[in-house]
Amino acid sequence: MDFLCREHSLVVEVDGAQHADNAYDGRRTGWLNAQGYAVLRFWNHEVSRARPSVLETILAALSGHLEADPASGFYSPASFKKENKERKP
């Protein structure tokens, strides 16, 4: 885990090539989601070459304007909201 915003229950991962198709990362993301945390992933080169876009994406996730894309693993929302511990429909 590279960054954590507890207030908004958001984890941001910045990954290198060793994380491509990594089964452990998938299991950990599932566990974090079950604990109420959304997980947002970026590649190292995205952070170094496209920082404004990365920051805009993080803001979109924090404001609830980012949709999940399960196929890419790029953004995995929490299974429930931590404030009330209720599962999302």
Tokens standing for 48?
């170094």
Reported as a single tens digit per residue, the pLDDT across 27-71 is: 888 899 999 999 998 989 899 999 999 999 999 999 988 887 766
Residue with tokens 């949709």: 67
Q: Secondary structure of 39-71 in the HEC alphabet? A: EEEEEHHHHHHCHHHHHHHHHHHHCCCCCCCCC
- pLDDT value, residue 89: 42
pLDDT of 84 > 60? The answer is: no
Supply the pTM of this predicted model: 0.78
SS3 38: strand
At 31, which helix (H) or strand (E)?
helix 23-34
pLDDT of 83 > 60? The answer is: no
